[in-house]
Amino acid sequence: MRVGLIGLGAMGEPMAHNLASTGLLYAVWNRTPEKAWVVAQELNVLQADSPSQLAEWCDVVITCVSADKDVLEVIWALIPGLGPGKIVVDTSTVSSATAITASKMLEDHGANFLDAPVSGGVEGAKNAMLAMMVGGDEDVLERARQVLEQVSARIVLMGPVGSGQGTKAVNQVMAAGINQAVTEALAFAHELNLPMDKVIDVISGGAAGNWFLEHRGPSMTHAQFNPGFKLELHHKDLTICKRMAEEKGLQLPLTEQTIKDYQVLMNEGFGQEDISALYRLKP
């Protein structure tokens, strides 16, 4: 099975490495050709001249881009090279509506679509330990599973196309709440003059323990915010969540507050930092 990957950013590039290590990766394409050339040379795979050429070469195409508009542009560009039986797996974080639109665009050409956003950050991508939330047909997922297992440790079919993105929206809302809670609590601990390393250690082993505290607590309390998940991207995702909630007549107060907090940090030039940079705003 030949696999092509489009989008060689912070998440896409390590996924390309994991696919190449098993011999499945056949070709790559990136909007910045220079980046694609470097990766293609390093992994000894082909660099496609266009998305459609990559689609012609490959049985499964994985896309990993940033925004709804980007996803639909890539899908449109893939179509001339697609045909019956080919599978497009989008691992981007976009709205459910965009995933459904992308699927409908491919239906007329006999190609299959899975919306398969992932969670786990850059560390998860590098270690092939991502959690993948899939929307689409079960038989299509089973045909692609061998490929997806090379980048994900957990793959769960959530329902029809759009369900994957709906689940990722829930994930992003929850991540916002965890970020708010952990950064606020650690700022509180600092003001109490507690030994921060010990606070993080003991709480990580109790009922309030969580991945974010364990993996980001030590760095944020030392004012280190190297991106595992860029703040500006989470802002983008939460804006999508807010819009999806509004379509259902719902409000997400904590999400809305996090969007505002992130905007303050972005205005101050911290958008490229990890989401733990929220700690900068805590008293």
**DSSP of 240-279, one letter per residue?**
HHHHHHHHTT---HHHHHHHHHHHHHHHTT-TTSBGGGGG
Distance CA 46, CA 38 (A): 11
Distance CA 85, CA 83 (A): 6
Distance CA 80, CA 248 (A): 36
Out of 69, 86, 104, 168, pick the active-site residue.
168
Go through the chain and tell me how many residues it has. Answer: 283
Give the contacts of 102 (CB within 8 A, at least 6 positions apart).
Answer: 71, 72, 75, 88, 90, 113, 115
The 8 Å CB, 24+ separation contacts for 254-257 are 254/173, 254/176, 254/177, 254/180, 255/173, 255/176, 257/180
Distance CA 18, CA 152 (A): 10
Q: Residue 168 catalytic?
A: yes
Angle between helices 163-191 and 96-107 (to 10 degrees): 150
* Helix (H) or strand (E) run with residue 83 in it: none
Given a contact cutoff of 8 angstroms between Cβ atoms, the answer to whether 241 and 252 are in contact is yes
Q: Which residues are known to be catalytic? A: 168
